[in-house]
Amino acid sequence: MEFRIADTFTDSLARLTGDEQKQVKTTAFDLQLNPASPGMSFHKLDRAKDKNFWSVRVGSDIRLIVHRSEASLLLCYVDHHDKAYEWAERRKLETHPKTGAAQLIEIRETVQEIIVPVYVQSPLPLPASATQLLFRGVADDLLLSYGVPPEWLPDVKLATEDTLLALADHLPAEAAEALLELATGGKPRMPTPATANPFDHPDAQRRFRVMSNVEELQRALDFPWEKWTVFLHPEQRQWVERDYAGPARVSGSAGTGKTIVALHRAAYLARQHPDARVLLTTFSDTLANALQSKLNRLLTSQPRLAERIDVYSLEAIGLRLHKTQVGSARLASSEDIRQLMADAAKAVPGHKFGRHFLLTEWEHVVDAWQLDHWETYRDVARLGRKTRLPEAQRAVLWEIFEHLRSGLREKGLLTASGLFTALANALKARSNPVFDFAVVDEAQDIGIAHLRFLAALAGGEGAIRPNALFFAGDLGQRIFQQPFSWKSLGVDVRGRSRTLRVNYRTSHQIRSQADRLLGPAVTDVDGNSEDRSDTVSVFNGPPPCIQTLRDAAEESTVVGRWLADCASAGIQPHEIGVFVRSDAQIARAEEAVRLAALPYLILDEHVAMEHDHVSISTMHLAKGLEFRAVAVMACDDEVIPLQERIETVGDDGDLQEVYDTERQLLYVACTRARDRLLVTGTTPSSEFLDDLQGK
């Protein structure tokens, strides 16, 4: 007998309290081990239209709904007695007559009318030519090919801008996504041909998963809300499995599945090339740890495959390879650079350059491009640096930077850019590659030297091997690096770049409100444009709560109460994140979590999330992480945008760059949330909160 779980089961499980979830998991394990055990209390649901629905007693009031046949047992739903029975009475399991995919369908006659939830606030970004009835001119046969159940065709034909999101909640995922694509001017993917087994259809595999052993079921139930890290959406599969003649990139706003694509791309390359080694890398150790955890869940049944995929942060793999290819290296810390810069500035009298300007000029121009001669600095195009510098001023600056370079040599220190540049040169001399393929997540924040290293790893500038480089990132989430031309370094993704536009992770309400912080489109230096205006989310949720409180004490009380409410609703500690702008506000986040009586862990670049703890960190470390509930705290005036950055800018162009990256930083923090988002500050609060609220 095949034992399966449905996504509706894992979703409903996540809404129960922690104690209730433990009881359900015990019952699920017992069912898998022996579904015919006399201790299993099965009850046939006589009122259900689908006569294969049964309930299983979990506790005094918790019932597990299963679909039972001679060949299989499917865990469908779990809830308190009356709600569980009501759910089953409104559902049936069928094979779609057109697509051939197994679907759990809501029975149309049990729905009196499509009620628009009060939290549906923002209209979809419909094209100007849209008529009031969105699908009046779409043929029934085409709608059926997208997975719309036949009994729901009349409702689809009557759908308007105001009712579409509410209607989508009643439809199978593939049908809802296709309708959202059509309504916003997109073109849904080509329907997949029917398979012999309805559960083998790609659309069915997104929502029904075979559990082959207890260990696999344990992992599935421990991380029910993270199922999107396991299931690859059929729309994304083509970008995972495509052959690319050169470097390729997938982009898209937060929640569109870029990291999932990167994970599956790494697994696909390892699977297709049994003798190859694959590097899966990202910006920080925190993100690398998160990637490793997701990869472990993805490849739980293929441990040998996972052994050939190395997951490292860029700095970690850089140090490791530099040691074997060049020699041991000591990286200069931020404090080392600040002290050496102070000494260098004192050694060159008579200039008026401030400490912040010197540090950023060094970081973004001289060190980033590894300029080692006066002539190269004199002639360099200072892309992203708005303050103009005549030759005489550059000469003074170069004298200061020469002192700093000498100080680094005397101390035997390398900057990260120096390390990756030396490593790139060493790799170019190798006849065989260290890694056959490299997949890079959060690619918008890799630096110039990082890209040189990756290009060398993949064969060298202008000679990159097919399929050797694959990037995933979002220009709208760039918070670390100044923009620069990838093409100038031999990494040209034009013609091999794809923007994902369907958001599977973040609710419509959270996504649409967070999008107010950014513009509708972002373009890189090489002219590759990412249009964000037509991104759609496939599910609804409560609107974000944005509050300005009197002081930090009141803020901690309000956030603590909200966190406690999340926990009471069944959200586990590891499914909650609390973020602040910088280390100076961490104590405020700690106080809020303490008031909620929840265990917590303060993340840094070397500390990974833990299963039973709320994660607290700065917004910078939030990048790439995902939580069911997120609180973004301390959004005060002069905290975001950070006053220290504003006070050190050189001109209006630099000021705009500060505001842009600070907006993107808040966007990153807000879009870590899947279901619930709270944003708070104290009076006077950040001007960005007005933007979030559309004021």
Give the model confidence (pLDDT) of 21-52 as tens digits.
Answer: 889 999 998 888 887 777 788 999 999 999 99
**184 against 317, higher pLDDT:** 317
Distance of alpha carbon 235 from alpha carbon 248, whole angstroms: 17
Q: Place domain 2-97+198-222 in its CATH homologous superfamily.
A: RelE-like (3.30.2310.20)
Q: Give pLDDT, residue 386.
A: 55
In single-letter form, the type of residue at position 245 comes to: A
**46 against 608, higher pLDDT:** 46
Of the ranges 149-163, 177-191, 509-523, which one carries the lowest mean pLDDT score? 177-191
Distance of alpha carbon 136 from alpha carbon 138, whole angstroms: 6
Q: Give pLDDT, residue 282.
A: 95
- pTM score, two decimals? 0.76
The band of 477, judged by pLDDT with boundaries at 50, 70 and 90, is confident
Q: Give pLDDT, residue 480.
A: 66
**CB < 8 Å & 24+ apart, contacts of 315-321:** 315/284, 315/285, 315/416, 316/285, 316/288, 317/279, 317/281, 318/416, 318/419, 318/420, 318/423, 318/453, 319/419, 321/423, 321/427, 321/434
Q: Tell me the pLDDT tens digit for each residue of 537-596.
A: 877 788 999 999 999 999 999 999 999 999 998 888 999 999 999 999 999 999 999 999
Q: Give pLDDT, residue 346.
A: 95
β-partners of residue 632 are: 579, 679
CB atoms within 10 A of CB 201: 25
Report whether pLDDT(415) > 50: yes
Q: Give pLDDT, residue 300.
A: 73
Q: Tell me the pLDDT tens digit for each residue of 55-112.
A: 999 988 999 999 998 888 999 999 999 999 999 999 999 999 999 999 999 998 877 6
Residue by residue, DSSP assigns 263-289 as HHHHHHHHHH-TT--EEEEESSHHHHH
Q: Give pLDDT, residue 234.
A: 67
**Mean pLDDT, range 313-325, rounded to an integer:** 96
The 3-class secondary structure across 575-589, one letter per residue, is HEEEEECCHHHHHHH
Architecture per CATH, domain 229-326+429-505, reads as: 3-Layer(aba) Sandwich (3.40)
The pair of structure tokens assigned to 116 is 């628009």
Chain position carrying tokens 């500690």:
573
Mean pLDDT of the chain: 87
Best CA proximity match to 5, nearest among 324, 180, 222: 222
Q: Exposed, middle or buried: residue 184 (CB in 10 Å: 0-12, 13-18, 19+)?
A: buried
Q: Give pLDDT, residue 661.
A: 86
pLDDT over 90, % of the chain: 53
Q: Tell me the pLDDT tens digit for each residue of 115-133.
A: 555 555 444 544 434 448 8
Distance of alpha carbon 527 from alpha carbon 537, whole angstroms: 27
**411 against 512, higher pLDDT:** 411
Q: Give pLDDT, residue 651.
A: 57
CA atoms within 13 A on the CB side of 196: 0
Report whether pLDDT(328) > 80: yes
Report whether pLDDT(482) > 60: yes
Q: Give pLDDT, residue 277.
A: 96
pLDDT over 70, % of the chain: 91
Where residue 577 falls (left for φ over 0; alpha for ψ -120 to 50; beta otherwise) is beta
Q: Give pLDDT, residue 531.
A: 74
Q: Give pLDDT, residue 213.
A: 74
Q: Give pLDDT, residue 133.
A: 87
Q: Give pLDDT, residue 115.
A: 59
Q: Give pLDDT, residue 131.
A: 46
CA atoms within 13 A on the CB side of 177: 22
Q: Give pLDDT, residue 95.
A: 95
Q: Give pLDDT, residue 608.
A: 58
Chain position carrying tokens 């001669």:
373
Q: Tell me the pLDDT tens digit for each residue of 679-690.
A: 999 999 999 999
**CB < 8 Å & 24+ apart, contacts of 299-302:** 299/267, 300/215, 300/216, 300/219, 301/212, 301/216, 302/267
Architecture per CATH, domain 542-692, reads as: 3-Layer(aba) Sandwich (3.40)
Q: Tell me the pLDDT tens digit for each residue of 252-263.
A: 888 888 998 999
β-partners of residue 473 are: 251
**Mean pLDDT, range 426-445, rounded to an integer:** 92
Q: Give pLDDT, residue 123.
A: 47
**Mean pLDDT, range 268-282, rounded to an integer:** 96
Q: What share of the chain is helix, strand, coil (3-state, %, to 5)?
A: 45, 15, 40
**Mean pLDDT, range 305-315, rounded to an integer:** 95
Where residue 361 falls (left for φ over 0; alpha for ψ -120 to 50; beta otherwise) is alpha
Q: Give pLDDT, residue 605.
A: 65
**Mean pLDDT, range 295-312, rounded to an integer:** 87
The pair of structure tokens assigned to 487 is 């093409």
